[in-house]
Amino acid sequence: AGGGGGAMGSAAEDGRPPAPERVLFPPTFSVSEIKNKQRRHFRFLRWKQQQRKEKLAAKKKRRKEREALGDKAPPKAIPKTIENQRVYDETTVDPNDEEVAFDEATDEFAPYFNRQTVPKILITTSDRPRGRTVRFCEQLSTVIPNSHVYYRRGLALKRIIPQCIARDFTDLIVINEDRKIPNGLVLSHLPEGPTAHFRMSSVRLRKEIKRKGKEPTEHVPEVILNNFTTRLGHSVGRMFASLFPHDPQFIGRQVATFHNQRDYIFFRFHRYIFKSEKKVGIQELGPRFTLKLRSLQKGTFDSKFGEYEWIHKRREMDTSRRKFHL
Amino acid sequence: SSQVVWDTLGNRQFCSYKITTKTQNFCRNEYNLTGLCNRSSCPLANSQYATIREEKGRCYLYMKTIERAPFPRRLWERVLLSKNYEKALEEIDENLIYWPRFIRHKCKQRFTKITQYLIRIRKLTLKRQRKLVPLRRKIERREKRREEKALIAAQLDNAIEKELLERLKQDTYGDIYNFPIHAFDKALQQQDAESESESDAEKEEEDDEDMSKREFVEADDSDLSDFEDMDKLETSSEEEREEEEEVEKKASHLKSKGKTPLKGPARRKRPYIEIEYEEETEPISKTKAA
């Protein structure tokens, strides 16, 4: 068989058989076929070294060619990232799309964007919240202006909602808790608005953030919404924007960011300062968390009879690594 | 013979239904009336015994008599009790007439407890139920990993800074920050002839927007305070503004710790000049604000 197998009895050698000079008829054996672990490991390391050398040599060669060509060299290749390779989503919103603009002028958030309503937010939790969740709710209410935290005493959401509407609340946030950490967020726009259910992860309270600043002040923060490209992403982005009052107070220099990357929405709250017109410093205050959209419902919260606009179906939607929905 | 059974199983030798704890002995037998391991509550050691058990929300009275002792299949006789609490108690009494007081009493107690917890179950099912959704370990791990990678790919700080600078360029902040040196230079170069009218327009704007002026001065003062002469500036401004300034100074102090300090003198010139400008119009704004 393979030439290397001949050195069977030579345990006195340094553990590896001599490399096969010429392999005639039988196919080359791969390193993984050697049964002895030590020898196999050794072979593998040697093979790896060889690969690295070849790679380095190839790089050098390419660099030389590049320099030799000088100006005429082809431009550097752009490395492929997941964002580059993203599967084109047909619902991506074109900034000049009239249909989308029309839709947005007439959907549930139109009154907010026309400055007719002032956001008023109710933050609550699931039953019997633990300390962490309660503290998180408090911090969240300092971040979002005009928000109130109410303790939930076993009340059904369906009963809370008409009461909220009667008291002029525009949004309802329910933070679901499991095993003493908050893990879910239900954001419901009240007067007949859409309800979004998110999965919340990596929640950091203010004291767990390193190098944080002082507490967020009462100024209305600015809002940054990044990377919400598709139609679905647009509606979710508008939902977030409608939480904050329309006119930010720039004296406060606070900014709340919702950054969407690969379907994960990262929330951060910073205080910024412009050091020059090209440089800005930011300092993180406030809690941070990441959200992942699980479902978007047309009306207010109704898990049984509601009409779902979008549900995350794992089997269908998670098949491709490069496909994102927001 | 029940005495024999008790002597062997109950007290001395092994009984598979018996559970011993530090303070007490329990009996795991399903027909046990009290749940404790006693001479009087052991269903094996008593030839005449009765229990209450419930199945699917209905309560049954089980009875065992000495006559049926040799027929294990027919040992336990079962009677369905009525749903009505009082009627059921009467039925128990009726069936266990002439039975020892202990068993009768304990049966009724047990029946009461059972009905109470059945009522509670029915009440709770009407309220909101917590739905348990099983987590899939593989999926959780995958999501976590993807989130970490997405976080790294997002480069949040850079993205936020870029966005803020964009907004600054597009003048969403208006006159608060007087940075745009580039824009200013460009404006000077392009519109030399119109520079006078521009400055006139600025003067008018400044007269009109008292509040923004105030903001403007504060921001600049806070930036200046990073470097020098905090006291001088403080004394020169009003008291109200001092308080707000301090907050901003602290904020900017904290910020400037980790970041490179600006070139002070290079930036100072323009804002410095403009401050002088505005102090002239201060008395007007004072009275207006007051």
Domain B1-126 sits in CATH at 3.30.390.110
Record: contact B218-A262, CB cut-off 8 A: no
Can you give the pLDDT at residue B210?
42
Split into its structural domains, chain A has a count of 1
Q: Is residue A126 part of a domain?
A: yes
A257/chain B closest Cα distance in angstroms: 7
Record: contact B251-A271, CB cut-off 8 A: yes
Q: With contact defined as beta carbons under 8 Å apart, do B43 and B23 qualify?
A: no
Give the C-alpha separation, A246 to A221, whole Å.
10
Record: contact B160-A270, CB cut-off 8 A: yes
Record: contact A282-B160, CB cut-off 8 A: yes
Q: With contact defined as beta carbons under 8 Å apart, do A272 and A261 qualify?
A: no
Query: For chain A (length 326 residues), average pLDDT per consecutive 10?
Result: 46 56 67 87 94 96 85 80 84 78 80 82 88 92 89 81 87 90 90 89 90 81 89 88 86 90 93 85 90 89 77 86 86
Chain B, residues 190-249, CB within 8 A of chain A, namely 215, 218-219, 223, 244, 247
Record: contact A278-B252, CB cut-off 8 A: no
Q: Is residue A80 part of a domain?
A: no
Record: contact A280-B267, CB cut-off 8 A: no
Q: Is residue A83 part of a domain?
A: no
Contacts of B269 in chain A (CB under 8 A): none
Task: Please name the residue ranges forming H helices in chain A.
Answer: 37-69, 98-106, 110-113, 131-143, 157-166, 231-241, 314-317
Which one of B163, B182, B184, B248 makes the best mutation probe of the A interface by having the most chain A beta carbons within 10 Å? B163
Q: Does B282 touch chain A (CB under 8 A)?
A: no
B150/chain A closest Cα distance in angstroms: 6
Can you give the pLDDT at residue A19?
59
Q: Which residues pair with B86 in a beta bridge?
A: none
Residue numbers in chain B where pLDDT is lower than 50: 201, 203-290
- CATH value at residue A274: 3.40.50.10480
Q: Is residue A230 part of a domain?
A: yes
Q: Is residue A112 part of a domain?
A: yes
Q: Is residue A214 part of a domain?
A: yes
Question: What is this structure's pTM?
Answer: 0.65
Record: contact A250-B139, CB cut-off 8 A: no
Q: Is residue A262 part of a domain?
A: yes
Can you give the pLDDT at residue B141?
95
Give the C-alpha separation, B213 to B171, whole Å.
16
Q: What are the domain boundaries of chain B? A: 1-126
Q: With contact defined as beta carbons under 8 Å apart, do A230 and A97 qualify?
A: no
- For B54, the enclosing helix (H) or strand (E) is strand B49-55
* Residue A180 identity (one-letter amino acid): K
Give the C-alpha separation, A282 to B163, whole Å.
12
ipTM: 0.78
Record: contact B168-A280, CB cut-off 8 A: yes
A320/chain B closest Cα distance in angstroms: 13
CB-closest option in A83, A281, A292 to B255: A281
Query: By C-alpha distance, which of A218, A282, A255 is closest to B244?
Result: A218
Can you give the pLDDT at residue A14?
59
- List b or e across A79-104, with b for residues whose CB sees 16 or more CB atoms inside 10 angstroms: eeeeeeebeebeeebeeeeeeeeeeb
Which one of B125, B147, B218, B270 makes the best mutation probe of the A interface by having the most chain A beta carbons within 10 Å? B147
How many interchain CB pairs under 8 A, A with B? Answer: 113
Can you give the pLDDT at residue B255?
43
Q: Does B186 touch chain A (CB under 8 A)?
A: no
Can you give the pLDDT at residue A164?
85
Residues sharing a CB contact under 8 Å with residue B43, sequence separation 6 or more, in sequence order:
B27, B29, B31, B32, B33, B49, B51, B64
In chain B, which residue's Cα lies nearest the Cα of A216?
B251
Chain A residues contacting B, CB < 8 Å?
A: 81-83, 127, 154, 156, 201-202, 211, 213-214, 217, 222, 224, 226, 250-251, 253, 255, 257, 259, 261-264, 266, 268, 270-278, 280-283, 290, 292, 314
Length of chain B: 290
Q: Is residue A77 part of a domain?
A: no
Query: By C-alpha distance, which of A253, A108, A106 is closest to A171?
Result: A108
Give the C-alpha separation, A285 to A221, whole Å.
12
In chain B, which residue's Cα lies nearest the Cα of A217?
B247
CB-closest option in A270, A275, A277 to B180: A277
Domain span at residue A264? 92-318
